Amino acid sequence: GGGGGGGVDAGGGAGGGNTGTGADMEVVVLGSGACNPSPTRSASSLALRLLNSYWLFDVGEGTQVQLQRCFVAPGRIDRIFVTHAHGDHCFGLPGLLCLIARGRDRDAPPMDIYGPAGLRAFLRVTLRFSGTKMLPRFVVHELHDIPNLHSSRPPPPPLAVAPGDVRSSDAGEQPGGLDLRPRPDGCWELLTTAFGESGSGTLRAAAGR
């Protein structure tokens, strides 16, 4: 599970969310307990710091607490990637969005959330059911046509929700979400981003066992 200290930093300002290594890139394992979390090993989540921005991979239950234990400022999370639809990888996402909203600048650009088809519907239903209003602005991008590699039984059909069913607002889901499909090489191209003053990189996803 995630590491040390008793400090809490839910803000997004320049003074928080850096463990002080001085490196441009840093990985923090927040949880690795899969579907069997324990008091000493949280559910799946990993934070990647690129300069002053955090990318989060999976959001199992308890991620909110682990972020604060590990001095990762939720307000600096700019991208979230859900690797697959099992609950131990996504059940913490709705609650985490509320925590992010507390520390994220209201003028900040919308967060990008990537995940398998059905993620958009999962968030819309969960947030609407709970009447959640304290939310950052975010855009949901779904990966479609993912092969079923883990079972001989076919997966349930995803909840299909078109990305264009939302309007611009001060909080919550924003328009601009993409439905991404695999390229001929079987990979999904997610984004290309600048890194530092002169570097850039492209992030791709691939299906694997």
The reply to whether 105 belongs to the active site is no
pLDDT at 120: 94
This prediction's pTM? 0.83
With a cut of 50, say whether residue 3 has pLDDT above it: no
Residue-wise pLDDT for 51-74, tens only, equals 899 999 999 999 999 998 999 999
Q: How far apart are the C-alpha atoms of 132 and 65, rounded to whole Å?
A: 19
Choosing from 9, 78, 88, 112, the catalytic residue is 88
With a cut of 50, say whether residue 11 has pLDDT above it: no
With a cut of 50, say whether residue 162 has pLDDT above it: yes
All residues at 6 or more sequence positions from 17 whose CB lies less than 8 Å from its CB, including other chains: 9, 11, 49, 52, 54, 71, 72, 73, 75, 76
SS3 call for 48: strand
Residue-wise pLDDT for 80-117, tens only, equals 999 988 888 999 999 999 999 999 998 999 999 999 99
**Whole-number mean pLDDT of the chain?**
84
- pLDDT: which is higher, 175 or 2: 175
Looking at residue 88, its amino acid is D
- pLDDT: which is higher, 14 or 48: 48
SS3 call for 173: strand
Confidence bin at 209 (pLDDT 50/70/90): low
- pLDDT: which is higher, 142 or 22: 142
All residues at 6 or more sequence positions from 108 whose CB lies less than 8 Å from its CB, including other chains: 12, 136, 137
| Angle of the 119-129 helix axis to the 93-103 helix axis, nearest 10 | 70
pLDDT at 139: 97
